[in-house]
Structure 1
Amino acid sequence: MSQLKWDEIYKVWDQITTVSSIPLALLGFGVTIWQLIKTKSAAEAARSSAESAVHQMRRGNIIGLLRELHRVEDEIDKAVYHNSVDLLFVWLSVWRWQASELRGYLSESVGDERKVMKAIQASMTVVVNVKSSLVGRENSDLSALTAQLRQVVATVTRELGSLSVVQELDVKGNKVER
């Protein structure tokens, strides 16, 4: 008889624990879903923050390179004024390097930036042609030989001027429509 009583008690206890575990499992499941939602929100906020940081760094790098290319344009003009082929070669190399770097930060999908990218590519082609034509030349009239070069470099820096305003506004957090 005592064995039968323990079997009944066990069956009742088993039913009670089975039934009571269902609400606890549902509660655990609910907590898990709530935690997943919080985690998803935190991940989205982190991704948004990372994208914003990348955007700000990109804009800062673009602005820095814009300023450098303006300086290089001035140095090219000085080299031509002083009729220094060696100095011109140095600044043409700097132009190509920095213009290439700037091009990497610009986007083909943005109209203003696409326009600057095309101007940069044209300037780089002319730089290569001018360097090739000046190799081995001494005492050349750099003013005449670099007229097209200085024109395309001026075109790039002029386009960069308008882009610079947009970029600086964008870095300062103002809404810029494109």
Structure 2
Amino acid sequence: MLLSANAWYVLPWSDWVGVVGFPLGLFGLWLTFKQARSAKDAATAANDAVKRTQVQIRANQLLVLIPQLRWIAAELDFAIDDGNVRLAKRHLDSWRWQANNIHGMLTSADASQRRVLKSLQESAGQAASAGTLLMRKNSGEESMLDQCEKAREAIGRVCDQLSKWAGENVTQVSTDEGAE
């Protein structure tokens, strides 16, 4: 059509719509692409924020639970020193419950937590074994301290590892937030 017209200014308005519409369509496609890329970047940033928040919540929960575990460990020691079998059994059961709870929370953490997870699982198993030994009627030949020795060692290891984990993760999250 453009070739058949004598001059470009002689084009009818319907042809001008097509001429102007083509660059406007290209501009619209460019804007759409730019907005899609911005939306992708925003979604990635939101996903990263969710992950950081999950780590922070997990660390905060552990900051509450770790002192409870340390209290249970100290009370277990007092019960053993006093020779109170029932109280020692109760504290071993409390340890198992708390350790399994923390194990569940850390299971969703990254793979670097395998050592802590293994220690938690071992301590819960040792606490169960010690509790069983304490409740046996003929366990009089073995002292309460001997019956709970492996559990106490495993519990101490877990307390140390969890304190380290919480310190590392609280610091890591604070560092990530400060970088933004």
Query: 1:158 corresponds to which residue?
Result: 160
Indicate if the aligned counterparts of 2:69 and 2:95 stay in contact, CA closer than 8 A: yes
Match of 1:169 among 152, 164, 171: 171
- Percent identity of the aligned residues? 25
Q: 1:161 to 1:87 in 2, by over 3 A?
A: same
Partner deviation per Cα, 1:16-55 (whole Å, 9 max, x = no partner): 2222211221122122122212222222221221111112
Distance in 1 separating the partners of 2:110 and 2:41:
32
Which is further off, 164-173 or 148-157? 164-173
Distance in 2 separating the partners of 1:121 and 1:36:
46
Query: 1:71 corresponds to which residue?
Result: 71
Query: 2:12 corresponds to which residue?
Result: 12
Query: 2:127 corresponds to which residue?
Result: 127
Query: 2:50 corresponds to which residue?
Result: 50
Which is further off, 146-155 or 159-168? 159-168
Query: 1:145 corresponds to which residue?
Result: 147
Q: CA deviation at 1:168?
A: 4.2
Q: CA deviation at 1:164?
A: 4.3
Indicate if the aligned counterparts of 2:133 and 2:139 stay in contact, CA closer than 8 A: no
Distance in 1 separating the partners of 2:55 and 2:163:
20
Distance in 2 separating the partners of 1:60 and 1:168:
8
Which is further off, 159-168 or 74-83? 159-168
Distance in 1 separating the partners of 2:21 and 2:162:
68
Give the 3-state SS of the residue equivalent to 2:175 in structure 1: coil
Unaligned runs of 5+ in 1: 1-10
Q: CA deviation at 1:161?
A: 4.1
Which amino acid in 2 is paired with 1:127? A
Count of paired positions: 163
Distance in 2 separating the partners of 1:160 and 1:68:
12
Distance in 2 separating the partners of 1:108 and 1:17:
58
Distance in 2 separating the partners of 1:14 and 1:76:
90
Unaligned runs of 5+ in 2: 1-10
Partner deviation per Cα, 1:94-147 (whole Å, 9 max, x = no partner): 11111112222334621xx32222222222111111222223649954223222
Distance in 2 separating the partners of 1:75 and 1:171:
32
Q: 1:159 to 1:45 in 2, by over 3 A?
A: closer
Distance in 1 separating the partners of 2:123 and 2:70:
14
Distance in 2 separating the partners of 1:54 and 1:168:
12
Superposition RMSD in Å: 2.7
Q: 1:134 to 1:165 in 2, by over 3 A?
A: same
